[in-house]
Every structure is written in C-alpha cells, then in structure tokens.
Amino acid sequence: MKKVVLAGGTGFLGKLLRDHFVDKDYQVVILSRQAYTSKLNITYVPWDGETLSEWKNELEGADALINLCGKSVDCRYTESNKKLIYDTRLNSTQVLGKAVGLCKTPPKVWINSSSATIYRHAEDRDMGEETGEIGTGFSVDVCKKWENAFFDCTSPGTRKVALRIAIVIGKNGGALQPLKSLTKIGFGGRQGSGNQYFSWIHEVDFINAVNFVLDNKELSGVCNVSSPNPVRNTQFMSSLRKALKVPFGIPMPKWMLEMGALIIRTETELILKSRRVVPKKLIESGYRFHYGNLENALIDLVQKKP
C-alpha cells in the first residue's frame, strides 16, 4: 500500500487530496494540530507545525509528503496576522525539512505549496515559470521566503516541487463560495476596474495536477498550478452570473470593496491583484486539463450536485 503524508491535510485543499488518495487506496497520514479520530486508511497524527517529535517517524519510507500548512490569508494584514502567515508557512516547511533529513528512507517526493501570487500584478502578459516576473510587497515576500525555506532544506533522496497554486475553485470551500453568495444577492458585477486577471483552477484539475507531479519523476523545482486560461475579473464575474442564472450584477468599485473588506476582516488584494499565471511546465510535461474552459468549470461547480 502506498503512503502519503499530508501536513495541513484538514483544510480545503487537504481534504480534496485526502479523499483522492483514500479512493486510490493509499494509506493517508495527516499531521494536524487538531485532535481527529483516525479511521480506515486515514491516520491523524498530532504535531504543532514547528517542533520535531514522534510525528517525524511517519515520514520514514513514505511515497510522498505534501505540505499545505498555513494560516489563511483571508484576514486583515495586521502585524500579528502577518507574523502568523509567515510563521505557519516557514516553520512547518523548515521542521518538515529537518524530519526528511533524519529519515533513513526519505519520502520519494516532497510537494510544498506556494502561491501564484508570487508573480507581479500583471495585465500585460502571461507569467510562466521561466518568463514570469516576481512581484513585490507582503504576499510576494511570504511566497519568496516560503519557497526559499523549502529549497534550502537538504534532501538529496527526495524530489522537491513547489506548487505556485492559483485560486482553486471548488464545490465546497475556497474563494468561490463568497463570490457565489455575492452574485446570488445581485452584487456579482465587476470588482474594481474589472480589468485585473483572475488565475483559477478547477478542484478536479488541482487534484489531477498534484497526481501528475507525483507520477512525473522529471518534474522538480517550481510549478504553476493554474488553468491555461486566466480571464479578466469582468469575464469571471459574467461567467459566474451565467452559471448561477443571475441576470444582473451590480459592479463593486474599489472604495466599496475597501469598505466591505474592512467589515468582513479581509484584504482587497485578494480580488484586485491581477494574476495572469499560466501552467507552462505542466503543459510542456504533457498534463491535459479537464477544465480549461471557465464556463464549463463554473457550470460543473455550481449546477451539478456533489
């Protein structure tokens, strides 16, 4: 039986992967700060995301280690939240690196999450892994330090891939849920100028891409995980209205978004930054997207039963 260790396997993306690997008959070990009851092929092992302890034994001989840990960025960027955003990503990555280094038979592959937000605000051209330009500012700095912490870990026996993940749109959870709610009550118009690009990936392609990276031994380094077709915010919101069969959507100017973000304790950057990211490496390695087309992706997510 193959074994995968998921750190941060209890969140939105972690649960998608957990269910996928259970279906594929893997033994799934989830490192979590919460106390969950283990069942069938899923074993929950306690850790704090920063200190080496018994959990490190789970990595011995594992087929794969996948780290998805990190305090959600969907919050106000106060100094204390910023510190948590950094610490939860850097500490978990560094302590996993130490654990991998102590293994006699280390995991064959280690996938660490990163984010497509590492690239600059881009409306002018696509950002591939080689041609994309790294941006500036808090979120970019988080991603840079996160990837550096990952690639600085010495792990000669383990292939390493950092996934620069775009916004994953799914049936339950993730960024699509608040956008759906807004659209249903009539506020599904363009956000800000609407010209900013939205890099998205359907949850099925997220799972398949992770699987592809696991199986494809030639793949290492950084890898964009986004659909090949980022769209402008105007088009994203229009496709969402169409999928939800909502005939109109009131536009949300920047000042209104700023006010709303303050009330619901989040940041407008998550909506207003232009992410024009393309999955060059995945495509060149032969990955075929199930949902390259946004309208089909949204119809599947909002109209079909889970």
Ligand X SMILES: NC(=O)c1ccc[n+]([C@@H]2O[C@H](COP(=O)([O-])OP(=O)(O)OC[C@H]3O[C@@H](n4cnc5c(N)ncnc54)[C@H](OP(=O)(O)O)[C@@H]3O)[C@@H](O)[C@H]2O)c1
> What residue ranges bind ligand X (CB under 6 A)?
8, 10-14, 32-34, 49, 68-73, 88, 92, 113, 115, 165, 167-168, 174-175
139 versus 158: smaller Cβ distance to ligand X: 139
Closest contact distance (angstroms) between CB of 244 and ligand X is 20
Closest contact distance (angstroms) between CB of 33 and ligand X is 4
Residue 199: CB atoms within 10 Å: 28
The closest alpha carbon to 199, from 145, 274, 280, belongs to 274
Q: Are 188 and 237 in contact (CB under 8 A)?
A: yes
Closest contact distance (angstroms) between CB of 79 and ligand X is 16
11 versus 194: smaller Cβ distance to ligand X: 11
Closest contact distance (angstroms) between CB of 83 and ligand X is 11
- Residue 165 bridge partners (DSSP): 115, 225
Residue 137: CB atoms within 10 Å: 12
Question: Which residue's CB atom is positioned nearest to ligand X?
Answer: 11
d(CA 185, CA 210): 35
* Signed CA dihedral, 255, 195, 268, 263: sign only: positive
* Phi, then psi, of 242 in degrees rounded to 5: -65, -45
95 versus 109: smaller Cβ distance to ligand X: 95
36 versus 235: smaller Cβ distance to ligand X: 36
116 versus 257: smaller Cβ distance to ligand X: 116
The rounded Cα 114 to chain-centroid distance in angstroms is: 7
Closest contact distance (angstroms) between CB of 42 and ligand X is 13
Strand, helix or coil for residue 255:
helix
Closest contact distance (angstroms) between CB of 91 and ligand X is 7
The rounded Cα 134 to chain-centroid distance in angstroms is: 18
Amino acid at 49: G
Q: Is 40 left (phi over 0), alpha (psi -120 to 50) or beta?
A: left
Report the residue count for the chain.
306
Closest contact distance (angstroms) between CB of 71 and ligand X is 4
Closest contact distance (angstroms) between CB of 105 and ligand X is 25
* Signed CA dihedral, 185, 189, 192, 195: sign only: positive
The closest alpha carbon to 131, from 292, 283, 280, 282, belongs to 280
d(CA 226, CA 241): 22
